[in-house]
Amino acid sequence: MAGVIPSPADRPHFLALMRRQLNSAVHRRLNVLLLLDDGWTPARIAAALYLDESTVAEHRTLYSERGRAGVESLAYLGRVSRLSAAQRAALSEWIAAEVPQTAKAVCAQVEAAFGHVYAPHAMARPLGQIGCVFKKPKCVPAKADVLIQQAFLDTTLAPLMRAARPEAPLSFVDGCYPSYTGRPAHGWIRRGATVELKSNHGRTRLNLNGALSWPDRSLIHHHEETITSAAMIRLFETLAARHPASESVTVVLDNARYNRSRALKAWLDQPGCRLRLVDLPSYAPNLNLIERFRRFMKRTVLFNKAYAKFALFKQAF
């Protein structure tokens, strides 16, 4: 009897499928076919699996008529949505515009607009059907110009990064101002437990001025009382000293007022200055590579950490 139902080719496939098959209906069909192949009678199989003999016959017929594909597929159509295609499209547009924070808000909109009443837990299925997921919006500068940024990337920044080398490094400069307080962030916590993060008033902060060099990705930073044109000159002097043999040091930075001051321009115009500044487009922090290091710094130094004293907080940087 073995090798008949299922065929010699399908039997090892069904055995492997049973080890990972999660759907109980398909798993039951595989059980029936493999037991038939082992020589069990339909009555014995029905008794062992708590089935009717007619169900055993149906599974055998399904395999005989449709083969492996018929056994592995399910013909369930599911419940028909109460929302029409036009209503689902309208709901999708409303969600894109409003970004509702709760399923309850979506239920209220569906009832007001279409007259269908849903419970919040039942709204998960319609939301999934129109491709919606629960996540945070991504913050971007309000006045950013995508076309200007792309043109700057294509014509200026990308060529500079390709041409950068140890003899002529490229540096990305920006200031950072971490405040002395707890920064809660998502993390793994035991179910049912609450983790408390001690926070401070947050009015005390550090003023860090830094430069990230490309392509070696080395970093220099200064602690400053405040970041001014004098602080920028100190950073640029350190940057020039870090690359004494370089023909030039190109610096990419934003349009902050202290980066356009008269004092800084006078320092740059002095004989022998090897620094050349490249201004980023307005509202384009995403094009400054040091911002990526800043995100890494927040994850490793700020998020989910509490410092008992400001001195310890400062030392962490």
Report residue 245 as tokens. Answer: 């043999």
Q: Which residues, in sequence order, are CB contacts of 102 under 8 Å at separation 6+? A: 120
Question: Which pLDDT score, from 0 to 100, does residue 161 have?
Answer: 94
Task: Give the confidence band of 78 by pLDDT, cuts at 50, 70, 90.
Answer: low
Report residue 6 as tokens. Answer: 């299922």
Question: Which pLDDT score, from 0 to 100, does residue 101 have?
Answer: 93
Give the pLDDT mean for 65-76: 82
Residue carrying the six token digits 């039942």 = 122
Question: Which pLDDT score, from 0 to 100, does residue 1 have?
Answer: 42
Question: Which pLDDT score, from 0 to 100, does residue 5 have?
Answer: 78
| pTM of structure | 0.62
The CA-to-CA distance between both ends of the chain, in Å, stands at 74
Q: Name the CATH code of domain 146-315 (choices 3.40.50.300, 3.40.50.970, 3.50.50.60, 3.30.420.10).
A: 3.30.420.10
Handedness of CA 49, 52, 56, 62 (dihedral sign): negative
Mean pLDDT is highest, among 237-241, 246-250, 305-309, for 237-241
CA 191/CA 55 separation, integer angstroms = 42
Question: Which pLDDT score, from 0 to 100, does residue 314 have?
Answer: 85
Task: Give the confidence band of 16 by pLDDT, cuts at 50, 70, 90.
Answer: confident
Q: What is the mean pLDDT of the chain?
A: 88
Question: Which pLDDT score, from 0 to 100, does residue 4 have?
Answer: 61
- Omega before 126 within 30 of 0, i.e. cis: no
Give the pLDDT mean for 111-132: 91
